[in-house]
Structure 1
Amino acid sequence: MLFVVLTASLLVGSSLVPGAQCRSCGQSLGTTKNFEDIFKGRCYDYVEKINPQAFCGKKNKSCDELWDTFRSAFTNTSSCNTSAYMYSAFINASTHSLPRGKSMFWQGVSGFVHELTYRGKRYFALEDTLYGYTLNQLNWCWSGEAGDFNYTLCPNRNVCPSGPKTTYWEAASREFAKVASGTVQVMINGSRFPPYNRTGFFGRVELPAMNTSKVDRIRILLAHDLKLHVVEDCNGKSITELKADIKARGMEVECTDDPKWVRFYMCVDHPNHPICKNLTSKAHSNTAFGVVLYILLFSIKNMVSR
């Protein structure tokens, strides 16, 4: 069984659940408009179109029931005093198995990794699961013990460190880690300082939650942006700490700097960059390699354009 860490920085974001924030007043935007409709629409889209095979032979998922379960977590508590435990019923109701060897974790590479996973067509990131897809990039909070959604302003993470989104993604990340098996991938940004942070979701929540009887090896694929801004390579300080953390959990680990297939994917959007031109020139000098590269780039472009 194998677990992979991939780091890229060209097309990345540093926030697991990005949201616009009013930094001057310590507030973020309020609950996403039409929150319930978006939730249910995404839910039905996922179970009917995106990943129906995850629910074959099982009781049909009722998105109305899942919404009620999610919504019930908000009563008798304030938006600034939430815990991951309050979402347990919803996580348990919406979780599902993932194909062996297809889990993709990440740290600091949200934009890039989600283009790469392509909603489970290549890999599954947390946001490619039912419980991740329904709430990805949405914002929510509530007012009063009745749990009425606040559509005006929600406190941001600096003001409210135990806010509803933070604790939700902790619960979802822990579940995602628990169901991982076989060859597991994770992406981390090698051009950001530091590439690996033990206080991030991966180091603090996901790695400790992995079942080492199902995942026994982590392969670190460390990629950097096309500007060659290398903060660390595979022998860097924080990556060495990551290797130690993995080994401490009883899993084997290996690391590769800038895998070619990651470079190829970056070059789809930047074909005229000198690094990309160098890759294609090398491909042309090797006919067999050139054919493989052409097929790879064509396939990626075709999938992204759909």
Structure 2
Amino acid sequence: MTYTERTGRVILVDIAAVVVMMSIIGYPGTGRMMAAGTTTVQRVNYSDAGTDPDLREIFIGRCADFKAGKVNPTVDLNELRMKNCTQLWELFSQAFKYHEACDVNQTMYEEFVNATAITIPANKSNFWDGWGIYDTVHAYAKEGRRAWSLEYTLVGYLINNLKFCGQEDETGFRYDSCPGPDECGFATGCVDAFWAEASVYFAKQAKGHVRVLFDSNREGGAFQNENSYFAQFELNNMRPDAVENVNIYLITMVNQEPGDNCSSSSIQQLTTILTQSGISYTCHDQPRDVLHLLCTDEIESEECLLQKDILESPTDVALPLTTGSASRTRSTIGVGCHAFIVISIYIIHNILHYT
């Protein structure tokens, strides 16, 4: 074997060794372990936007606002003083950071959710199910003054409408794309798993009389037992010793035909579950307090005509009319009395004159 042949063989052996090492430890920048002879793992592109670029700053800012009572003015500020926003951020981010987006489950958020826990007043808990009722629920809650939905607790407000997910390499956050709702499976993945754990916490805090709002025209029925955060994580975690009554509100949007009502099969399924759990309930079709709220935006609709006078401060309109009517009545009575007296005097005068 010539020197050139020996040199070439050594080079080939070195190249082969390098290839084997790279196949074992992974190519630079992939963060993946690959066995010899396997192909590179393809990066999954998800359907939703990636992690918010300023996620930490948004989180800390929201936390500070909530602690100051700027979000829900009915919270106990003394209780909130014990919350450390930086520590809460660390607990939150560690739950999914450096984990692949769909490899996150509910229990990974348990420590964070417990650290954010605050007291929810009795008779204030307001549950909901179905995105069609979302805006109505928050308008009805009135920033916690009328009711508390999960989004007006500390844990719910901190995370509501944020985009976030993790990855195993680089910064631990993934910024190009994240899974959309149920893309990883029901209640699985960075965002969905969080809301599952938060829903359990919210239900366990409920006490007294609580409400649950449904859209009567929800496709598939107002109450749905499958793939429902209310059914799977809230309804099943209400405490019968704490919750006295569940007020079921079936809401029909103005200018729509009513859908499900209190006698519908989906609501009967819900009431059966409540009865079996030992929790009493009442059901309301189109409750007036919610209808009044809906009518503020649809004042001219036929359904709201009866509500119109109420919403336009009837006292301010009626009082001048009532006062005017009373004045006119008094004036009429006065004129009548005067005429009666004049006529009486005239008659008496004539009688005396001719006798």
TM-score after normalising by structure 1: 0.80
Does 2:189 correspond to 1:163?
Answer: yes
Q: What residue number does 2:206 align with?
A: 180
Higher strand proportion: 1
Kindly provide the amino acid, as one letter, of the partner of residue 133 in structure 1. Answer: Y
Measured on the aligned residues, the alpha-carbon RMSD in Å equals 2.3
Q: Which has more radius of gyration?
A: 2
- 1:55 Cα deviation from its structure 2 partner: 4.1
- 1:68 Cα deviation from its structure 2 partner: 0.9
Greater RCO (CA < 8 Å, at least 6 residues apart): 1
Q: What residue number does 2:249 align with?
A: 221
Q: What residue number does 2:159 align with?
A: 135
Distance 2:179 2:149 in 1: 27
When residues 232 and 291 of structure 1 are mapped into structure 2, their CA distance, relative to the original with a 3 A threshold, is: farther
Does 2:95 correspond to 1:69?
Answer: no
- 1:239 Cα deviation from its structure 2 partner: 0.7
Q: What residue number does 2:118 align with?
A: 96
More deviation, 81-90/25-34: 25-34
Does 2:171 correspond to 1:122?
Answer: no
Contact 2:245 2:279 in 1 (8 A): yes
- 1:77 Cα deviation from its structure 2 partner: 3.0
Distance 1:60 1:185 in 2: 29
Contact 1:190 1:233 in 2 (8 A): yes
Distance 1:147 1:97 in 2: 35
More deviation, 225-234/180-189: 225-234
Kindly provide the amino acid, as one letter, of the partner of residue 209 in structure 2. Answer: T
Contact 1:103 1:181 in 2 (8 A): yes
- 1:157 Cα deviation from its structure 2 partner: 3.5
The answer for unaligned runs of 5 or more in structure 1 is 1-24, 295-306
Does 2:81 correspond to 1:56?
Answer: no
The answer for unaligned runs of 5 or more in structure 2 is 1-44, 319-355
Contact 1:212 1:251 in 2 (8 A): yes
Kindly provide the amino acid, as one letter, of the partner of residue 80 in structure 1. Answer: C
Structure 1 residues 149-173: Cα deviation after superposition (integer angstroms, max 9, x where no partner): 1111112234312211100000000
Distance 2:182 2:229 in 1: 16
Distance 1:238 1:251 in 2: 18
Kindly provide the amino acid, as one letter, of the partner of residue 91 in structure 1. Answer: V
Structure 1 residues 259-303: Cα deviation after superposition (integer angstroms, max 9, x where no partner): 11111100111111121123335x59xxxx9449x9xxxxxxxxx
Structure 1 residues 58-110: Cα deviation after superposition (integer angstroms, max 9, x where no partner): 75211111101111212453211111110111111101111110000001211
Kindly provide the amino acid, as one letter, of the partner of residue 88 in structure 2. Answer: L
Contact 1:187 1:221 in 2 (8 A): yes
For these two proteins, the number of residue pairs brought into alignment is 265
Q: Percent identity?
A: 30
Q: What residue number does 2:172 align with?
A: 148
Distance 1:224 1:145 in 2: 48
Distance 1:96 1:277 in 2: 42
When residues 34 and 58 of structure 1 are mapped into structure 2, their CA distance, relative to the original with a 3 A threshold, is: closer
TM-score after normalising by structure 2: 0.70
Does 2:56 correspond to 1:36?
Answer: yes
Contact 1:28 1:155 in 2 (8 A): yes
Q: Which of 290, 293, 298 matches 1:265?
A: 293
Contact 2:255 2:301 in 1 (8 A): no
Higher helix proportion: 2
